[in-house]
C-alpha cells in the first residue's frame, strides 16, 4: 500500500548549477550526495551506468537530482510548456508570497507569466528552475 509521495527527481546537465538553484533560490539543503554504478545499471537496464545523485531537502520534501556520466542524457527543452505531456511542475508552498516573488525576480528567476490569485486568497506563480523545469510557488492566505 502506498502511504505518501517521497520525492520528485530530475536528471540535470549541470549538477553544481542545480544544487545552487535549489539551495540559494528555494532554500533547500543538500542531505545526500553519492555516485552509483552497477546497482543503478541493473536498476535502469543500462550496462556501464554511472550517476551522481544528490538529495535537496526542504522539511520532509526532497528534490532528487541525477547527473548521469553514462549514459549521456538528452538536452532539456528550454521551450517546455506547462501544457506539454509528462511531469509539468514541482510545487512549493511559500509564506509572504509577494515578498518571495520579488526576491526571486531580484535573483533573476524567469517567470512563465503573471502572478495570479487563482481563487480567493490563493496566490500562484510559475517559474523556471535551473534546467528549464517548471516550479510553482503558492500561498494560501487566511482571509
Going by their DSSP bridges, the two strands 7-11 and 61-70 should be labelled as: parallel
pTM of structure: 0.86
63 and 18 co-located in one domain: yes
pLDDT in tens, 12-53: 999 999 999 999 999 999 999 999 999 999 989 999 999 999
* CATH classification of the domain holding 20: 3.10.180.10
Q: Would 76 be classed as within a structural domain?
A: no
Residue 104 lies inside a defined structural domain of this protein: yes
Q: How far is the first Cα of the chain from the last one, in angstroms, to the nearest whole number?
A: 37
Residues 11 and 65 in one domain: yes
Residue where a domain stops, chosen among 20, 38, 70: 70
**Strand (E) or helix (H) holding 140:** strand 134-140
Q: pLDDT tens digits for 78-122?
A: 787 777 777 788 999 999 999 999 999 999 999 999 999 999 999
Number of folded domains that form the chain: 2
Contact (CB, 8 A) for 142 and 105: no
pLDDT tens-place string over residues 53-82: 999 999 999 999 999 999 998 887 778 777
Q: Is residue 49 part of a domain?
A: yes
Residue 62 domain boundaries: 7-70
Amino acid at each position: 500500500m502506498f502511504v505518501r509521495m517521497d520525492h520528485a527527481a530530475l536528471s540535470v546537465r549541470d549538477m553544481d548549477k542545480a544544487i545552487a538553484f535549489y539551495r540559494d533560490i528555494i532554500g533547500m539543503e543538500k542531505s545526500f550526495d553519492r555516485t552509483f554504478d552497477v546497482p543503478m545499471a541493473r536498476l535502469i537496464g543500462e550496462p556501464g551506468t554511472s550517476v551522481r545523485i544528490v538529495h535537496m531537502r526542504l522539511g520532509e520534501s526532497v528534490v532528487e537530482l541525477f547527473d548521469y556520466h553514462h549514459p549521456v542524457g538528452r538536452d532539456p527543452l528550454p521551450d517546455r510548456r506547462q501544457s506539454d505531456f509528462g511531469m509539468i511542475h514541482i510545487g512549493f508552498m511559500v509564506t509572504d508570497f509577494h515578498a518571495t516573488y520579488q526576491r526571486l525576480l531580484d535573483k533573476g528567476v524567469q517567470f512563465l507569466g503573471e502572478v495570479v490569485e487563482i481563487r480567493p486568497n490563493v496566490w500562484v506563480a510559475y517559474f523556471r528552475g535551473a534546467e528549464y523545469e517548471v516550479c510553482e510557488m503558492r500561498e494560501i492566505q487566511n482571509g
